[in-house]
Every structure is written in C-alpha cells, then in structure tokens.
C-alpha cells in the first residue's frame, strides 16, 4: 500500500484511465479518512479530442488540464454536479481522467457528493495533499472498454473511441 506519486500521473491519459481502475481514492473528511476503490473511468486526451474540454483551447476553467499530471481538475456540470478528473501526462499537453464511479457509488456526480469534493479543491496536488490523494495496493480488476458517455457533441471519430473503462470483476 503506497500513495501514488508523480511518475505514475505523468503517463498519458489513455494509459492512465484503465490503470486507475482498482486504485483507491482517499479523502480526509473531518476526523476520518474515507477510502473507495475506483470502478469506472473515462479519458480525455489532447486538444484534438473534440470531446475534451481542452479542444476549445486553454481557458480559466481548463488551465489545470495543461499542467503536469497529478493534480485535480474539477468543474461544475449542469449547474448541479461537481465532476472530478485527474490531470494526466506532461505539462503543456492537456489530458485527464474523469472518475465516473467508485465502489458503492455509480455516477461521477454521486461520488463527488459522497466524498465532499467541489471546486474548492480545483488544482489540488494529489501527491502532496492531506485532503485528497490516491493509493495503490496492487489490486488489478478485470474491466471492459466502451464508448464515453454524454459527449454527443463531439465528432463521430471521437464519440466512437473506446475510452470509457468499467470494472467487470
């Protein structure tokens, strides 16, 4: 069991997304630490991925995606839900992994609510933080790859990429 470090997060989002399945998302809530295993992810990779927020360039909202991997990219979706992404890859190339589900909670908005994650944690360093971080205990679940959810606005080529990863066992 060890905390995940920078080298791991510097891998491209396409590599990181499936590998994050089974990793443990850790959150300090008051006196206790909540640990939940990741069960579902999606990757968003580069400005050429028309489903990725960075496809329309760098803005105040998307700037975290351009940083070096290992920080949090969090934004408000549909005015209600905070969605939590892990920034991936090297500085300058935008990419991230949306955490869509953890054990006990399915849906990207549900898990952030359960863990008390909101935009006050935008840009937080997941390697150094005592609020939010990831641990690896070596567990490797089986999974399947499918199309991403809720990105009908993207080009067909990007809609059809198998960039959603779901634990099967």
Q: How far apart are CA 49 and CA 6, in angstroms?
A: 24
What is the Cα–Cα distance from 113 to 73, expressed in whole angstroms? Answer: 16
Continuous segment of H or E residues that includes residue 14 = helix 13-19
Question: Any contact of residue 149 with DNA (CB under 7 A)?
Answer: yes
* Binds DNA (CB under 7 A): choice among 16, 20, 21, 52: 52
Rounded to the nearest 5°, which phi and psi values hold at 5?
Answer: -110, 180
**Residue 7 burial (10 A CB sphere; 0-12, 13-18, 19+):** exposed
Angle at 88 between CA 73 and CA 139, to 5 degrees: 105
Residue from 5, 76, 145, 162 in contact with DNA (CB under 7 A): 76
Is 80 one of the binding residues for DNA (CB under 7 A)? yes
Number of residues that bind DNA (CB under 7 A): 35
What does the alpha-carbon distance between residue 160 and residue 60 come to, in Å, rounded to a whole number?
28
Among positions 109-148, residues that touch DNA (CB under 7 A) are 109-110, 119, 148
Q: Counting contacts by CB under 7 A, is residue 2 touching DNA?
A: no
User: What is the smallest separation between the CB atom of 62 and DNA, expressed in angstroms?
Assistant: 5
Task: For DNA, give the closer residue by CB, 51 or 134.
Answer: 51
Per CB under 7 A, 42 contacts DNA: yes
Residues that bind DNA (CB under 7 A): 42, 44, 51-54, 56-57, 59-62, 65, 73, 75-81, 83, 85, 96, 98, 107-110, 119, 148-151, 153
């Amino acid at each position: 069991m060890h905390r995940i470090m920078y080298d791991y997060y510097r891998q491209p989002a396409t590599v990181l997304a499936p590998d994050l399945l089974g990793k443990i998302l850790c959150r300090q809530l008051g006196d206790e630490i909540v640990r939940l295993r990741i069960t579902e992810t999606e990757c968003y990779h580069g400005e050429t991925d028309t489903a990725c927020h960075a496809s329309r360039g760098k803005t105040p909202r998307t700037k975290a995606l351009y940083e070096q991997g290992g920080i949090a990219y969090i934004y408000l979706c549909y005015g209600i839900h905070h969605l939590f992404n892990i920034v991936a890859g090297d500085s300058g190339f935008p990419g991230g992994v949306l955490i869509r589900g953890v054990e006990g909670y399915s849906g990207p908005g549900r898990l952030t609510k359960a863990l008390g994650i909101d935009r006050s944690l935008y840009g937080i360093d997941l390697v150094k933080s005592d609020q939010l971080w990831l641990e690896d205990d070596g567990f490797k679940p089986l999974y399947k790859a499918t199309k991403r959810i809720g990105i009908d606005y993207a080009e067909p080529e990007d809609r059809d990429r198998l960039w959603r990863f779901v634990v099967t066992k």
